[in-house]
Amino acid sequence: MSPVIVTTKTAENETLIIQRPTSGLSLQGSIRIPGDKSISHRALMLGAIASGETTIEGLLLGEDPRSTAKCFSLMGAQISELNTELVRIQGFGSNSLQEPVDILDAGNSGTTMRLMMGILASHADRFFTVTGDSSLRSRPMSRVVKPLLQMGAQIWGRQNNSLAPLAILGQQLKPIHYHSPIASAQVKSCILLAGLMAQGETTVTEPALSRDHSERMLQAFGAKISVDPDTCSVTVTGPAKLHGQQVIVPGDISSAAFWLVAAAIIPGSELTVENVGVNPTRTGILEALEMMGVDFQLQNQRIVAGEPVADIFVRNSPQMKGCNLAGDIIPRLIDEIPILAVAAVFAQGTTVIRDAAELRVKESDRLAVMATQLNRMGAKVTELPDGLEITGGTVLTGTDVDSYTDHRIAMSLAIAALSATGITSIHRAEAASISYPNFIATLQEVCRD
- Edge-to-edge strand ranges of the sheet holding 270-277: 295-304, 307-315, 270-277, 26-32, 447-448
CB atoms within 10 A of CB 300: 12
Cα–Cα distances in Å, from 9 out to 135, 314, 413, 443, 445? 21, 33, 18, 18, 21
Task: Look at residue 3 in the predicted model and tell me its pLDDT.
Answer: 67
DSSP helix/strand/coil, 277: strand
Angle, helices 37-49/213-220, rounded to nearest 10 degrees: 30
Q: Residue 180: is its pLDDT beyond 70? A: yes
Angle, helices 185-195/37-49, rounded to nearest 10 degrees: 10
Task: Look at residue 2 in the predicted model and tell me its pLDDT.
Answer: 60
Over range 361-384, report the average pLDDT: 97
In residues, how long is the chain?
449
When pLDDT is cut at 50, 70 and 90, the band that residue 27 belongs to is: very high
Return the DSSP state at 101. S
When pLDDT is cut at 50, 70 and 90, the band that residue 46 belongs to is: very high
CA–CA gap between residue 217 and residue 128 (Å, rounded): 25
Any bridge partners for residue 283, and if so which?
none
When pLDDT is cut at 50, 70 and 90, the band that residue 374 belongs to is: very high
8 A C-beta contact, residue 36 and residue 52:
no
Residues 270-313 pLDDT 10s: 999 999 999 999 999 999 999 999 999 999 999 987 899 999 99
8 A C-beta contact, residue 65 and residue 44:
yes
**What is the pTM for the complete model shown?**
0.90
8 A C-beta contact, residue 249 and residue 43:
yes
CA–CA gap between residue 139 and residue 125 (Å, rounded): 27
8 A C-beta contact, residue 388 and residue 341:
yes
- Which residues belong to the active site? 335
Any bridge partners for residue 105, and if so which?
131
From the number of C-beta atoms within 10 Å of its C-beta (0-12, 13-18, 19+), residue 258 rates as buried
DSSP helix/strand/coil, 85: coil
Q: Residue 415: is its pLDDT beyond 70? A: yes
Q: Are strands 4-9 and 14-19 parallel, antiparallel or unpaired?
A: antiparallel
Tell whether the torsion through CA atoms of 98, 116, 248 and 263 is positive or negative. Answer: negative
CB atoms within 10 A of CB 301: 10
CA–CA gap between residue 53 and residue 88 (Å, rounded): 7
Percent of the chain with pLDDT over 70: 99
CA–CA gap between residue 296 and residue 253 (Å, rounded): 14
Task: Look at residue 305 in the predicted model and tell me its pLDDT.
Answer: 78
Closest by alpha carbon to 127, among 193, 82, 171? 171
CB atoms within 10 A of CB 331: 24
CA–CA gap between residue 130 and residue 164 (Å, rounded): 7
CA–CA gap between residue 332 and residue 410 (Å, rounded): 21
Over range 314-336, report the average pLDDT: 97
CA–CA gap between residue 35 and residue 253 (Å, rounded): 9
Task: Look at residue 250 in the predicted model and tell me its pLDDT.
Answer: 96
Q: Which residues of 229-245 are buried (b: 16+ CB within 10 A; e: fewer)?
A: eeebbbbbbbebebbbb
With a CB cutoff of 8 Å and minimum separation 6, the contacts of 230 are: none
Residue type (1 letter), 298: L
Q: Residue 1: is its pLDDT beyond 60? A: no
Over range 108-123, report the average pLDDT: 97
